[in-house]
Amino acid sequence: MDLSRRSFLKTGVVGTVGISALGFDLQPLQAQTATLKIARTTQTRSTCPYCSVSCGIIIHTIGDGAKNVTPAVVHVEGDPDHPINRGTLCPKGSSLLQDIVNDRRLLKPQVRRPGSDHWEDIAWDQAIEEIATKTKLLRDATFVEKDANGKTVNRFDTLAFAGGCTDTNEFNYLVVKSMRAMGVTCLENQARV
């Protein structure tokens, strides 16, 4: 598919330089507009991740979903069917393409060791292993089973979990399930502030 912008086909208006030296060219005149860049893209319905209006968006990706294609986002536009935004988007929603395709994205796990002044790369398995070890150590060292009055409290209140504003319900539920299972009390979210 030709995605180049403003690639004009010229029926009559242009070209044929010598022939139209005197300018009179009686072919019917139709000027070609640019190719519709989303004419052949694959569309995915999503929800804008910014404010709480929940604008429906359509993410256009290259390719038709075939096995051998890694879909890349080429355009994001409002979903005209969505009852709230009816296709409209604000300046943030309109620029979501640059949020999805952004060269500032973090692409690999990193660790900053104590006292260090730089990031080091770390393998996923290693990072998970270290985090789990540290978490368990901390929990076992500070877990409160009973309070001063002898009441069962089962609290792990030395580790805090801060949830983000764009975490989905399902993810948040997994957070509640896993963190409360460990006894985490310092559970907060962007929702608070």
Partner 1 sequence: MSDRKTLQVQRISGHPGPVAGAGMQREEQVCKLIDTTTCIGCKACEVACVEWNDMPFQPTMFDNTYQTMPDTHWNYWNLIKFNEVTNEDGTFQWLMRKHQCMHCADPGCLAACPADGAIVQYRNGIVDFQEENCIGCQFCVSGCPFNVPKFSPTTKKVYKCTLCSDRVGQGLEPACIKACPTGCLHFGTKSDMLMLAEKRVKQLQTVSGFKEAGTYDPQTIGGTSVVYVLHDASNPEKYGGLPKNPRIPLSFTIWKNWFKPIGLIASMMAFAGVILHYVTEGPRRPQPQPPVKEVDGGEGKKEN
Partner 2 sequence: MTNGWVDIKNTDMMLIMGGNPAENHPCGFKWVIEAKRNRDAKIVVVDPRFTRTASVADQFLQIRAGSDIAFLGGLINYALANNRFNHEYLVNYTNAAFIVKEGFKLPEDGLYSGYDATARTYDKSTWNYEEVGAGAHASDTHSHAVQSSPVPPPTLPPNVAYDLSLQHPRCVFQLLKQQYSRYTPEMVERITGIPRERAIKAWETFTSIRQNGDMKKAGTIIYAVGWTQHSSGTQTIRTAAMIQLLLGNVGRAGGGVNALRGHSNIQGATDMAGIFDILPGYLKMPVPADTDLKTYLTRTTPKASKPKEWDSFNYWSNTPAFTVSLLKALYGDAATKENDFAFNWLPKIDRKYSWAEIWDDMYNGKVKAMMAFGMNGVMIGPNAKKNIEALKKADFLVVCEIYPDETSEFWRAPGTTPEEMAKINTTVYRLPGAGFAEKDGTFVNSARWLQWKWAAVPPPGDCRLDQEILARIFLKIRGKYQQEGGKLPDPILKASWNYTNPNNPSLAEVAKELNGKALADVTDPKTNTTIKADQQLPGFAFLRDDGSTMSGNWLYCGSWTEAGAMIQRRDPADPSGLGIHANWAWSWPMNRRVMYNRASCDLNGKPWDPDRKQIWWSEAKQKWAGNDVPDFKPDSDPKSHMGPFIMNPEGVGRLFVPIGAVADGPFPEHYEPTESLIANPLHPSQSNNPIAKRFKSDMDKYGTPDQGYNIICTTYRLTEHYHYWTKNNPMNVQLVPEPFVEIPAELADQMGLRGGEKVKVTSARADYIAKAMVTKRIKPMMVDGKKTYQIGIPIHWGYRGIAEDAGKTAKTPANYLSPAAIDPNAYTPEFKGFLVKLERV
Partner 3 sequence: MATSSQRFDRSTNHFINRIGLTVVYVGELLRHRAYTRFLHWAYGIFFFLALLSGFGIYMPWIFRWFTPLFGGGAMTRMLHPWFGLGFVFFFGLQAFNWAAAMKWGQGDTRWMKRLRDYVTNRDTIEPPDVGFFNGGQKLMFWEIVGGSIAYVITGVIMWFPEIFGRIAVAISYVIHDISALIMLAGIFIHIYLSTIGEPGTMQAMTRGTVSEAWAWTHHPAWYKQVTGRDPAEALAEARRTQARSSGDQSNQ
Our measurement of the distance from residue 70's CA atom to the centroid of its chain's CA atoms, rounded to an integer in Å, reads 16
Footprint of partner 1 on 43-82 (CB under 8 A): 75-78, 80
Instruction: Give kind and range of the element (H or E) at residue 125.
Output: helix 124-142
Q: Is residue 66 at the binding interface for partner 3, with CB under 8 A as the rule?
A: no
Instruction: Give kind and range of the element (H or E) at residue 92.
Output: helix 91-94
Select the span of 21-29, 38-46, 55-63, 184-192 touching partner 3 (CB under 8 A). Answer: 21-29
Select the span of 61-69, 90-98, 104-112, 127-135 touching partner 1 (CB under 8 A). Answer: 90-98
Kindly state the tokens that stand for 143.
């877990």
Return the number of the residue (18 or 115) whose C-beta is nearest partner 3. Answer: 18
Residue 41's binding partner among partner 2, partner 3, partner 1, none (Cβ under 5 to 8 angstroms by kind) is none
Residue 10's binding partner among partner 2, partner 3, partner 1, none (Cβ under 5 to 8 angstroms by kind) is partner 1
Residue 21's binding partner among partner 1, partner 3, partner 2, none (Cβ under 5 to 8 angstroms by kind) is partner 3
CB of 93 to partner 2, least distance (A): 7
Kindly state the tokens that stand for 139.
């929990």
Residues in contact with 49: Cβ distance below 8 Å, sequence separation at least 6, in sequence order = 96, 99, 166
Q: Is residue 19 at the binding interface for partner 1, with CB under 8 A as the rule?
A: no
CB of 36 to partner 2, least distance (A): 20
Q: How many CB atoms lie within 10 A of CB 79?
A: 22
Select the span of 6-14, 16-24, 29-37, 166-174 touching partner 2 (CB under 8 A). Answer: 166-174
Contact 86, 128 (CB under 8 A): no
Q: Which residues pair with 188 in a beta bridge?
A: 162
Kindly state the tokens that stand for 63.
């390719």
Residues in contact with 159: Cβ distance below 8 Å, sequence separation at least 6, in sequence order = 135, 138, 139, 182, 184, 186
Select the span of 16-24, 55-63, 66-74, 105-113 touching partner 3 (CB under 8 A). Answer: 16-24
Q: How far apart are CA 82 and CA 86, in angstroms?
A: 5
CB of 63 to partner 1, least distance (A): 16
Residues in touch with partner 1 (CB under 8 A)? 1-2, 5-6, 8-14, 20, 22-37, 39-40, 75-78, 80, 85, 87-91, 93-95, 97
